[in-house]
Amino acid sequence: MSRMPLLLTVLIACGGKDAPETAPPTTPTETGAPPTESETESEPVETADPSVVPLDGVCTFASRWGSFYVDETLDYAYVTGVVNDGVVPISILTNVTSDGECTIWRRENPYCSPSCEPGFTCDFDGTCIPYPVGQDIGTVTVDGLVQPSSMEPLQPGNTYFDVTLPNPPWAPGDLVTLDIEGGVFEPVRLHGVAPEPLDVVSSSWAIQQGQPFTLAWDPPEDGARTEVVLSLSIDLHGVTPSSVECRFADDGEGTVSASVLETLMGYGITGFPMGNVVRRTADSAPIGGGCVDLIASSTRFGDVTIEGYTPCNRDEECPKGQTCNEELQRCE
């Protein structure tokens, strides 16, 4: 199975996400002085230097109409994105608990009676609203890559996609600029800083009862503006699935506390546990009545195992004396 749908699901749902509920502050310019007229006519100073270009972080869940990702994995690189005309209610996650750099996010399932008609979805106040749909936002171009990308909307859904990029798609530290122009919204410009490829010390991630989990990676060179975001999902078939998102400083090591993992496992374990770690920069801007963000990232996947738990598709995969609950994909 391709890893790309998994990546997009985690990044969006976590966004992750997953994504924090509030965006980091804007990075100030180096001098704080406005550009001169000649500088404005050629190239704005705030976009010329990737070390000081403002990066406004990710959108909040309640404002995100869309996201774009420029990502490199071990096997491929791609650009993808879509902008809707509203916020999909189930994408607004609930903060269950936070500890240090880590947060458990839970997906809620709003209930409407009677059920909503096709083309509508249930909001959290129990009313049916039009389901947000992808918009034709015109031409989306991404500069600062080894091979610049220009995309038109694809049907169905007015999605944007480019999988023809070389891998890696950029030189680390270069400025990445995404422009949206010519569609139903006013022009939007977003920025990113190309991350160094993420080198994780181990891709085998063992979760043990009552123990913290520490992830180690090679830190980037001095001056990098990246953060590292770890996502763990272990309840793939739960009624209200929860996941952990940790946002670490890009200094080579981050730890998920034992209490966070205990809380997460207490919500249930179903299916095949998933995990990824992303070195990224994030920028966002208003669009329509909402927000759109750009994630420039290097993504790696982990092989997640949980002490005392065995996922399965059939009985033969289970320990002696257990059978496979195929609906929940777990040995019992």
Instruction: Round to whole Å and give the CA distance between 14 and 67.
Output: 12
Rounded CA-CA distance 304/53 in Å is 36
Instruction: Report the C-alpha gap between 280 and 144 in whole angstroms.
Output: 16
Lowest mean per-residue pLDDT among 12-21, 136-145, 289-298: 12-21
pLDDT of residue 5: 39
The pLDDT, as a whole number, for residue 235 is 95
79-115 burial code (b ≥16 CB/10 A, e <16) = bbbbbbbbbebebbbeebeebebbbbbbbeebeeeee
DSSP state of 272: S
Does any domain span residue 45?
no
Q: What is the mean pLDDT of residues 60-85?
A: 97
Counting the structural domains of the chain, the total is 1
pLDDT-derived band at 62 (thresholds 50, 70, 90) equals: very high
Output DSSP code: residue 1: -
The answer to whether residue 116 is domain-embedded is: yes
State the average pLDDT over residues 186-192. Answer: 97
Residue 192: what pLDDT?
97
Pair 332, 323: CB distance under 8 Å: yes
Sheet holding 274-287, edge to edge: 94-99, 102-106, 242-249, 227-233, 274-287, 290-301, 64-72, 77-83, 160-162
Report residue 167 as tokens: 């891998």
Residue 195 covered by a domain: yes
At residue 246, the pLDDT reads 98
70: containing domain: 4-30+56-331
Average pLDDT over residues 71-78: 97
Q: What is the pLDDT of residue 34?
A: 36
Mean local confidence (pLDDT), 290-302: 98
In a domain, 51, yes or no: no
pLDDT band of 177, cuts 50, 70, 90: very high
- Nearest alpha carbon to residue 169 among 80, 73, 82, 250: 73
With cut-offs at 50, 70 and 90, classify the pLDDT of residue 240. confident
What is the pLDDT at residue 48?
A: 62
pLDDT for residue 229 is more than 60: yes
The confidence score (pLDDT) of residue 247 equals: 98
**Structural domain includes residue 165:** yes
DSSP string, 31-66: S-PPPPHHHHHH--HHHH-TTTS----PPPTTTEEE
Q: Pick the residue with more confidence: 42 or 91?
A: 91
The region, left, alpha or beta by phi > 0 then psi within -120 to 50, assigned to residue 260 is: alpha
Per-residue pLDDT reduced to its tens digit, 300-310: 999 999 999 99
Would residue 38 count as lying in a domain?
A: no
Residue 125 in domain = yes
The helix, strand and coil proportions of the chain, stated in percent and rounded to the nearest 5, come to 10, 40, 50
| Residue 36 resides in a domain | no
pLDDT of residue 85: 98
132 DSSP assignment: P
pLDDT at residue 1, rounded to an integer: 40
Q: What is the mean pLDDT of the segment spanning 98-115?
A: 95
Arithmetic mean of pLDDT over the chain: 88
CA geometry: angle 64, 67, 69, nearest 5 deg: 155
pLDDT tens-digit series, residues 12-46: 333 333 334 433 333 322 333 333 333 333 344 34
The reported pLDDT for the residue numbered 33 is: 34
Banded model confidence at residue 223, pLDDT cuts 50, 70, 90: confident
- Upper half-sphere CA count for residue 35 (Cβ side, 13 Å): 13
What confidence category does residue 221 fall into, taking pLDDT thresholds of 50, 70 and 90?
A: confident
Give me the mean pLDDT over the 60-70 stretch. 98
pLDDT value at residue 68: 98
> Residues 100-104: what's their mean pLDDT?
96
3-state SS, residue 311? strand
